Amino acid sequence: MSEPLSYPLSENHPDRLRTPSGLRYQDLTLEALLEGRAGMEDLRVTAEALRMQAEIARAAGRRQLAENLERAAELTQVPEEEILEIYEALRPGRATRDQLEQLAARLERDYSALQTAALIREAAEAAPASRANPD
């Protein structure tokens, strides 16, 4: 069994961190960037790192923070354009119940983002059945 995780991960568990391209955290240096061994995508957080942070939060009794981090981990697989679409849809009065339900179904189907889909379905319960002032 591995040792319990502790924050900050970069100091206490650098050996467990990888970049999105698989580069070891310790190898993410300015030199690696300048030599082309690392790129801008390597500066993004990974789902694994977010799940580790969620584990730490849950162990500290911070359930809501852990759930937010788990949803963030799911969203690392979703393209930025779709993230912005989700953000816009969740703003008050921007989407109907049906539109939010469709968005949740797409997140489940295309990205296996089950926790994020569940959150959007919660928002759908409070959304109007139709928009009073459609765009």
Parent domain of 108: 77-135
Say whether both 50 and 69 belong to one domain. yes
Question: What percent of the chain clears pLDDT 70, i.e. is strictly above it?
Answer: 95
Residue 96: closest CA among 123, 128, 60: 128
Q: Domain ends where: 37, 56, 76?
A: 76
Rounded distance between C-alpha atoms, residue 110 and residue 85, angstroms: 15
Q: Which residue is associated with the tokens 């030599």? A: 35
- pLDDT tens digits along 99-121: 999 999 999 999 999 999 999 99
Q: For the domain that residue 131 is a member of, what is the CATH number?
A: 1.10.1510.20
Which tens digit of pLDDT belongs to each residue from 11-42? 889 899 999 999 999 999 999 999 999 999 89
Q: Report if pTM > 0.85.
A: no
**Is 67 in the same domain as 93?**
no
